[in-house]
Chain A
């Protein structure tokens, strides 16, 4: 029972970090058709900015979370304005460019913040572990679950229940018709890109409570979030959430029970979904 509870919590906490990352990639791809492989690098930049603020300069952790998100959001905005909008529907160029950005941002991070790993950090109120019925579990991990779920609800509400969300969904389904209605889809795209990048940076600092910060994060985290996208499906918040939780739990139980096969199970799940439902479990199209 203890194993079951702890493994589920492990799966949820890691899965929700993957969700935050995947949600941003999914939104951006859905609206703009841009496959941004450097999304993991934006996550890393957010994490470093948050670490720099909270640990190096002693600012409030929640301010660091906000600044991490803003830094990644602004960086994403520049990338979108200067590069990505020129590469609409050019998938090969997008992959090459965004993969190049991974290297550039990683090396710039090493330059600015150093190459060594920075241990996880959190708010003073979230430090330590709680003990219930013989179980010990880090409070910070519980906070990751709560924050992830709150953001999931917020993003779902924004996308499915607001006018802005309706425009975003319309843009995903039919760009030309949406524009013919007089909607400035360019502005919507830029805003969505900023939001996606902001969430990546935000997730970087939230995720740093679990995994700390290092220059290798951009690649480490990207691969699994891509699997989350394949499983959950592109263009839907619910899909990214389901994919994140599924992969988080498969990863957590797999590593605990069959560590040498954990990665196999993760990719097996992806292959099964690709074979049975190629657009993902809850993909829009």
Chain B
């Protein structure tokens, strides 16, 4: 009797566990629709758990959407996508990457998102001649490895236009900064701060908050007065910071590197306090070019007209697009020695604008200054200025 009960209990729990974990933690393999050639196996490391868990589902949507559009095939070869949870943890991600390479035999790995973890995996992927594709902007050292490509640029380069804009267009002469205390936060914020200093501005204070900071009260209490505050924090922390900033009665204009860390859905919860905030972005749904208009239309057809295409979904979509365009150029050849040069030689018209690639693997494209506005009853980042063909000055 007792054994039976325990069996039923254990079976039920197993079922619950499997159901709970399926869409997020497990590997998800899409069957190839056409058996016309040897399958191209593509791995992706996305954060479904850990400090960047909020990005995972958006990135997954972008990957699957782009592959759906391609009908999961390119150059006559079917594509298999194998997704693993990176948990934004280097050791775990390395194990997952080894599994992708040794067991699943992937020839391309997209991600992971976390810049530090991304750097940690690069040597292994380079040694194994596997193409590593960046999700969103990545650190400069990625260029020292020979297996890296990215439709986005360096983290540092995202801050560069904001430094220019603050000094030249907003007349800001002093800034205080706050960023996440790891490679991404430091690169993003220093991109803006160094450029701002180069123009003649003064950085009165730089604060670094540990990734995952929940309470910014201590930082706000110690924050010095300046003409503006420049920030880059993880998505959830950025929203938390903006909310607490206003609660503490701070009045300096907020300038955000990669402002779209605050997604449209987050802007709703911040309400009117976000309006007037200015930032730099790589992609904005309000970009006025034919590729973006097509992209936004297709996004709304797939995900519903109430949703706005965010940078996360776009970054994953663009990463797959870059791979597919490269594979089209090589006729489906996934050999790193052929695929990477083919990608580096591409000139692309993507929703973010025209894109070419630097030999380091980082992309060169226009950067945009945006302002948070309420447009047709929706909070959106609207493009107010464009800086053409921005690159990382250190490249």
Report the Cα distance A10→B220, complex, angstroms. 10
Check if A211 sits within 8 Å of B214, measured CB to CB.
yes
Known: A10-B218, A111-B23, A210-B215. A120 touches B240 (CB 8 A): yes
> Which residues of chain A have C-beta atoms less than 8 A from B210's C-beta?
262-263
B157 within 8 A of A: no
Query: Given A103-B25, A256-B219, A259-B207, does the pair A119, B266 have CB atoms closer than 8 Å?
Result: yes
- The reply to whether the CB of A141 lies closer than 8 angstroms to some CB of chain B is yes
- Chain B nearest Cβ from A120, distance in angstroms: 5
Q: CA separation between A7 and B215, bound complex, in Å?
A: 12
Residues in chain B near residue A215, CB distance under 8 A: 53-54
A155–B238 CA distance with the chains assembled, in angstroms? 35
On chain B, the residues within 8 Å of A115 by CB distance are 53-58
User: Given the complex of chains A and B, what is the CA–CA distance between A10 and B248 in angstroms?
Assistant: 11
CB distance from A106 to the nearest CB of B (A): 6
Given A10-B221, A116-B265: A214 and B236 within 8 A (CB)? Answer: yes
Assess whether A221 is interfacial by the CB under 8 Å rule. Answer: yes
Chain A residue contacts of B57, Cβ below 8 A: 110, 114-115
Which of A3, A129, A140 contacts B249 (CB under 8 A)?
A129
The answer for the CA separation of A9 and B56 in the assembled complex, in Å, is 36
Decide if A260 touches B240 in the complex (CB within 8 Å): no
B interface SS class: helix
**Number of A positions contacting B (CB below 8 A):** 51
Interface flag for A187 (CB, 8 Å) = no
Question: In the assembled complex, which residues on chain A have CB atoms less than 8 Å from the CB atom of B215?
Answer: 10, 13-14, 210-211, 251
Q: Mark B13-24, 1 if CB is under 8 A from A, else 0.
A: 000110011011
The answer, yes or no, to whether A136 is at the interface (CB within 8 Å) is yes
Chain B residues lying within 8 Å of A107, measured Cβ to Cβ, are 20-21, 24-25, 48-49
Is B24 in contact with A256, judged by CB distance below 8 angstroms?
A: no
- Bound together, the chains give a CA A260 to CA B222 distance in angstroms of 13
Instruction: Establish whether residues A216 and B56, one from each chain, have CB atoms under 8 Å apart when the complex forms.
Output: no
The complex places the Cα of A66 from the Cα of B93 at a distance, in Å, of 40
List of B residues within 8 angstroms of A216 by Cβ: 50-51, 53-54, 212, 236
**A252: chain B residues within 8 A (beta carbon):** 217-218, 221
In the complex, chain A residues 127-172 whose Cβ is within 8 Å of any chain B Cβ:
129, 131, 136-138, 140-141
Nearest neighbor of B310 in chain A, beta-carbon distance: A116
- Cα of A255 to Cα of B210 in the assembled complex, Å: 10
Determine if A69 is an interface residue (Cβ-Cβ < 8 Å): no
A106→B266 contact, CB < 8 A: no
Contacting residues, chain B, for A118 (C-beta < 8 A): 269
With a cutoff of 8 Å between Cβ atoms, the chain A residues found around residue B209 in the complex are 255, 259
CB distance B248 to A129 under 8 Å? yes
Q: Is the CB of A129 within 8 A of B53?
A: no
A82 and B13 alpha carbons, distance in the complex (Å):
10
A250 to nearest B CB, angstroms? 10
Q: A257 at the A/B interface (Cβ < 8 Å)? A: yes
Interface residues as binary, A253-285 with B (CB distance below 8 Å gives 1, 0 otherwise): 111110110110000000000000000000000
- State whether the Cβ of B9 lies closer than 8 Å to any Cβ in chain A: yes
Kindly report which residue of chain A lies nearest to residue B215, judged by CB atoms: A14
Asked if residues B53 and A221 are in contact (CB atoms below 8 Å), the reply is no
Within 8 A of B (CB), among A206-220: 210-212, 214-217, 219-220
Closest to A224 in B: B214
Q: A104-B20, A117-B235, A212-B239 are in contact. Are A136 and B53 (CB under 8 A)?
A: no
B262-312 residues with Cβ-Cβ distance < 8 A to A are 263, 265-266, 269-270
Q: Do A117 and B236 touch (CB < 8 A)?
A: yes
- The answer to whether A255 touches B219 (Cβ under 8 A) is yes
The answer to whether A106 and B240 touch across the interface, beta carbons within 8 angstroms, is: no
Q: Using Cβ atoms and an 8 Å threshold, which residues of chain A touch B244?
A: 120, 138, 210
- Check B9 against A82 for contact (C-beta < 8 Å): yes
CA distance A55 to B23 in the complex (A): 27
Q: Could you tell me if A117 and B218 are in contact, using CB atoms closer than 8 angstroms?
A: no
Q: Which residue in B9, B23, B24, B240 is a CB contact (below 8 Å) of A117?
A: B240
Q: Does B243 contact A (CB under 8 A)?
A: yes
Contact B247 A129 (CB under 8 A): yes
Contact A6 B214, CB 8 Å, known A116-B265, A119-B269, A136-B248: no
Asked if A3 meets B222 with Cβ closer than 8 Å, knowing A104-B17, A137-B248, A263-B210, the reply is yes
Residue in B50, B53, B217, B243 whose Cβ sees the most chain A Cβ within 10 Å: B217
Answer whether residue B208 sits at the interface, using C-beta atoms and an 8 A cutoff. yes
Which residues does chain B contribute within 8 Å of A114, judged by CB atoms?
57, 265
Check B181 against A260 for contact (C-beta < 8 Å). Answer: yes
Closest 8 CB pairs of A and B: A136-B249, A117-B236, A255-B218, A256-B222, A10-B217, A119-B269, A138-B247, A211-B214
27 contacts between A and B (CB under 8 A): A3-B221, A10-B221, A13-B217, A14-B215, A103-B25, A103-B49, A108-B20, A110-B57, A111-B24, A114-B57, A115-B57, A117-B239, A117-B240, A120-B240, A137-B248, A210-B214, A210-B244, A211-B240, A214-B54, A215-B54, A216-B54, A252-B218, A252-B221, A257-B222, A259-B209, A260-B181, A262-B210
Given contacts A6-B221, A120-B244, A141-B247, 11 further A-B contacts (CB under 8 A): A6-B217, A104-B16, A114-B57, A210-B215, A210-B244, A214-B54, A215-B54, A216-B50, A216-B236, A255-B219, A256-B218
